[in-house]
Amino acid sequence: MKIRNLSICLLILTLLLAGCGPADLPPDVPAVEEAAPVVESAPEEEPTEVVNGAALNITGIWQGVLMHELVEGGCPPTPTQQGTVLIEQVGSAVTMQFSDGFTCSPLEACDFTGVVEGMNYTASNGGIADSEGGTYTTAMTVAFSPDAESATGSGTSTYQHPEMQCEWITSLSLIRTSGE
């Protein structure tokens, strides 16, 4: 009998509490606010591959084609070059070297440093071009495919000589031949 009475008391207490809302509380008892429902957001898309904190891994050996699209100034156009491009990435820092099949004058003009952000690599180089006081600078942007197996880019190279200046607009195509 006692267990039955206890069950009935608990049932009545539960019904009374369920019927009470903030308006039913005495004025000196603070109301408990309902928590807002938790809304789960859709997961963000994962990057192609994460390497040392960078969203893209472009380290590898690439086949490249470098074309000079436009030449301004007193310098002759240069022929299309193609060959091996070596890329090494550590985090977002990247070095790129135009290797077999490419001719650079001076040789250091084949070496670039830069950073990868998202799907894009920005690179540059520059230095002394010759013993006549000439200097060179190159800036390049390369956009990689989502699978990091191909890329296209464009760049601007400048040769500054005490007596003249030249500028080349270039395009670049890359196809990965092997990874790390």
pLDDT score at 75: 86
Task: Supply the range of the domain harboring residue 171.
Answer: 60-178
* CATH number of 105's domain: 2.40.128
- Report the domain count for the chain: 1
Is residue 97 domain-resident?
yes
Instruction: Render pLDDT for 132-164 as a digit per residue (tens, 0 to 9).
Output: 999 999 999 999 999 999 999 999 999 999 999
Is residue 3 domain-resident?
no
Instruction: Render pLDDT for 61-94 as a digit per residue (tens, 0 to 9).
Output: 999 999 989 999 988 888 899 999 999 999 999 9
Is residue 33 domain-resident?
no
Is residue 30 domain-resident?
no
User: Which residues, including other chains, have CB under 8 Å from residue 167's CB and lie 6 or more apart?
Assistant: 71, 72, 73, 156, 157, 158, 159
